[in-house]
Structure 1
Amino acid sequence: MDKVTRFFWFCSGAHIDTLKKYPIEHNKYVGIGATIFFTALFAALSGGYAMYFVFNGDAYAVVFALLFGLLWGTAIFNMDRYIVSSIDKEGTTMQQVIQASPRILLAIMIGIVISRPLELKIFDKEIRQKLKTAYLKGQHSKIDTLQKTYNEKYTAELANTVALKQEKDSLEKDINRSRTQLNEEVFGEKNSQTSGVVGYGTYAKQKQTVLQEKQDRLKLVTDKAEKMDQYLSKRKDFEGVNDVKMFSQKQLDSLASVAGFADRNWALGQLTYNENGTRDLDTYLAISFIGYLFILFECLPVFVKLMSPKGPYDVAIAKTQEANVYYADKDKQRDMSVIDGIYDEHLDEDIKRRRRTLANRGDNDRDKHRYD
């Protein structure tokens, strides 16, 4: 537990040697450090998952995802650690908020970025179904567009084919009717179309001639229709109409599985709308609150530091910084005096006296803290 505690102290950006002197502050900085660590962990998972989709299908997709996730998580961790440790608790609440406001705005942007890949994973099943529906609609639209272009381009040929087929159907009906009349004439059946004389006579020969002419015409029309169908079929192949077919269920599953980040992100956005274009409030709120949760989680390191009260560790750090600035200024003055050839012994005495005063004040603060 001591190693875990020291690790979280390191994550919080605290000065460990100073923090050890104030046990009452230990748990607070463990909490701050844990918040920073887990925020970076979620950022690493989210970034790695997003990069996995970018390189989905590549043999090294997992390697790229791990490397980018580690890099992204480390960047977020370093930034959180620096911002939290740099918030000055000596200032007023408003000054601290103003100091942290750039980090809060950046946290909102980062929260949106890291939440999106995890939202894609949470709603993976619904996204796949939405993608399948979209792919089917897209394929329908593509087929309709190709067919419309083909019909417009070959309007005359298609009209000629329709006319030939209509003439063929008409001739087939006339031939059947003429054949029936010929048989009635040969067998001597009396009606308005026959003579009633049995045998293959003059009227029968006339009907046979008419029947033969219709059969010849039918053969000619049939040949033309077949040639036109063959021509149009070749033109369909050339125009690509025959190549585009509807997706099978297996193909749809495969397409949804290999869909890229952009397609899945689009599908997630479409989940918030019904088929009629109205807003699906339940899904919209579910997706939105997940995003808000990650934004809040990303802002937590700053909020935790802002909400934590000023403690003895903050006072000690402020005094240490004040002393370092004072010593740096005095050392600079002494160095300048040496360079100028003038050495002021009283300056050394002033520095030593100042150090003793600050040391005694620090001891008194620690004694007071232990008494409290």
Structure 2
Amino acid sequence: MLKRFFIFCSGADTNILNSCSPGEQIKYAGIGATVFFTAVMAFIAASYALYTVFDNYISAIAFGLVWGLLIFNLDRFIVSTIKKKDNFKSELLQASPRILLAVIIAIVIAKPMELKIFEKEINQVLLERKNDLTLANQEQIATQFTPKVTALDAEIATLKNEIAIKETEVNALYNTYISEAEGTAGTQKLGKGPVYKEKREKHDAELAALQELKAANTEKIEQAENQILLLSEEYNTKVSESQPVIDGFDGLMARVDALNSLPLLPSLFIMLLFLAIETAPIIAKLLSPKGAYDLKLEEEENALQTWVAQQMHQRKAVLQTDTEVNNRVYADIAEEQELYEYKRKKARELLQLQADAFYNKQKSVLG
């Protein structure tokens, strides 16, 4: 049962192959098995590749099955159409388009399998690229907010500096009137005289101004800090909204690009392996000697060609004979006087009818 299935996969004529030796049948069963397992590998590779696209098992398996059947049909067609001849160069020339197609199929099958085999390495490359994209995204978004935050920080620093300058002035006035009271500066008289009172009043006035300045600047500083918090929240929101796009950067094209960044040699070996698997049935058929199946198939084809040539020659002979007979028949009829008189009579009647019709038409026009 299994041998019959593989023979079916090889595309061989079962009626002819059944009349051949068991060894010939095993050879074509082996070719069919190669075709079948190549289609299985194509199904697995396509299913994985499509899963990275659709992220759905059912869709991936369904499309993978269609692709596997397509590859199976193509391989079966390629193998079944290669005819064994006595000249290897002629056979190779005949198989060259099919080998080229097999190479294309092998590359298409190998690429998804490479993605699966090197999945861990590809994930590492994608992780590094995602991290780079995340940092670049954060920097790009930050450029929209950094000037505003910098301006607000500068405003806060200016307001704090105004308070610090005012505090320094008030502290200096405090030290002045204290020194006046102690007699260590100013009039150098101990006690709280008129100069002391004047300096104390100036200090108190500046202290009140300092309190007002602190209250006003503190409110402005709080407003600026609140604006910075709002800008920070808006920045975090934009980063969070754009992050899923970066996290989803692991589609088929991204993985293929990541695979291309890995060392070439391992990927090349896998591609060559699938190339060998895909071209194995064709190479096996080219290298195998001309067997009983090929001889019988060639005999049937030659017999069919001979029969078709005979049929065409017979139809040409029938056509030529019929043409000659018809020519002789019409030549004999052309000499008969009775046929001449009959056609002369009918021609006269036709001319009379045409003349009557023309006369009636002209009469109706002239009124």
In the superposition, the TM-score normalised over structure 2's length comes to 0.73
> Quick one: which of 187, 203, 206 aligns to 2:202?
206
Equivalences for residues 350-369 of structure 1 within 5 A: none
Distance 2:78 2:141 in 1: 58
Distance 1:192 1:159 in 2: 44
Distance 1:194 1:38 in 2: 112
1:32 shift after superposition = 1.0
Q: Structure 1 unaligned runs (5+)?
A: 273-282, 343-372
- Whether the aligned pair in 2 keeps the contact of 1:47 and 1:69 (CA below 8 Å) is yes
- Whether the aligned pair in 1 keeps the contact of 2:45 and 2:112 (CA below 8 Å) is yes
Distance 1:5 1:193 in 2: 122
Partner residue, 1:362: none
- Whether the aligned pair in 1 keeps the contact of 2:102 and 2:278 (CA below 8 Å) is yes
Q: 1:177 to 1:317 in 2, by over 3 A?
A: same
Letter in 2 for 1:82: F
Partner residue, 2:15: 17
Q: 1:138 to 1:95 in 2, by over 3 A?
A: same
The alignment status of 1:7 with 2:19, answered yes or no, reads: no
Query: Secondary structure at 2:278's aligned position in 1?
Result: helix
Equivalences for residues 28-43 of structure 1 within 5 A: 28-43=27-42
Instruction: Select between 170-179 and 287-296 the one with higher mean Cα deviation.
Output: 170-179
Deviation track 1:32-90 (CA, whole Å, cap 9, x = no partner) reads 1111111111111111222222211xxxx322222212211111111111111111211
Partner residue, 2:123: 128
- Whether the aligned pair in 1 keeps the contact of 2:163 and 2:214 (CA below 8 Å) is yes
Distance 1:330 1:290 in 2: 53
1:167 shift after superposition = 4.0
1:100 shift after superposition = 1.4
> Quick one: which of 221, 225, 250 aligns to 1:225?
221
1:117 shift after superposition = 1.4
The alignment status of 1:243 with 2:237, answered yes or no, reads: yes
Partner residue, 1:324: 304
- Whether the aligned pair in 2 keeps the contact of 1:19 and 1:313 (CA below 8 Å) is yes
Equivalences for residues 155-194 of structure 1 within 5 A: 158-159=150-151, 161-169=153-161, 171-172=163-164, 175=167, 178-179=170-171, 182=174
- Whether the aligned pair in 2 keeps the contact of 1:143 and 1:244 (CA below 8 Å) is no
1:161 shift after superposition = 4.3
Distance 2:285 2:185 in 1: 110
- Whether the aligned pair in 1 keeps the contact of 2:173 and 2:202 (CA below 8 Å) is no
Q: 1:204 to 1:7 in 2, by over 3 A?
A: same
Distance 1:104 1:201 in 2: 111
Size of the alignment, in residue pairs? 315
- Whether the aligned pair in 2 keeps the contact of 1:87 and 1:99 (CA below 8 Å) is yes
Calculate percent identity across the aligned residue pairs: 32
Partner residue, 2:260: 269
Deviation track 1:164-190 (CA, whole Å, cap 9, x = no partner) reads 414414623752784587379559667
Q: Structure 2 unaligned runs (5+)?
A: 323-367
Partner residue, 1:146: 141
Distance 1:298 1:193 in 2: 107
Partner residue, 2:76: 81
Distance 1:109 1:194 in 2: 106
Query: Secondary structure at 2:8's aligned position in 1?
Result: helix
Q: 1:259 to 1:189 in 2, by over 3 A?
A: farther
- Whether the aligned pair in 1 keeps the contact of 2:122 and 2:259 (CA below 8 Å) is yes
Distance 1:193 1:225 in 2: 38
Query: Secondary structure at 1:244's aligned position in 2?
Result: helix
Q: 1:198 to 1:287 in 2, by over 3 A?
A: farther
Query: Secondary structure at 1:243's aligned position in 2?
Result: helix
Deviation track 1:127-158 (CA, whole Å, cap 9, x = no partner) reads 22222222221121112112223345x4xx84
Letter in 2 for 1:16: T
Instruction: Select between 190-199 and 26-35 the one with higher mean Cα deviation.
Output: 190-199
Distance 1:173 1:191 in 2: 25
The alignment status of 1:313 with 2:307, answered yes or no, reads: no
- Whether the aligned pair in 1 keeps the contact of 2:156 and 2:224 (CA below 8 Å) is no
RMSD: 3.4
Q: 1:181 to 1:15 in 2, by over 3 A?
A: same
Deviation track 1:88-139 (CA, whole Å, cap 9, x = no partner) reads 2115211111111112222222222111211111122222222222222112
Letter in 2 for 1:290: I
The alignment status of 1:215 with 2:211, answered yes or no, reads: yes
Distance 1:131 1:213 in 2: 61
Distance 1:151 1:194 in 2: 55
1:10 shift after superposition = 1.2
- Whether the aligned pair in 2 keeps the contact of 1:190 and 1:196 (CA below 8 Å) is yes
Structure number having the greater helix percentage:
2
1:321 shift after superposition = 0.8
Distance 1:163 1:298 in 2: 72
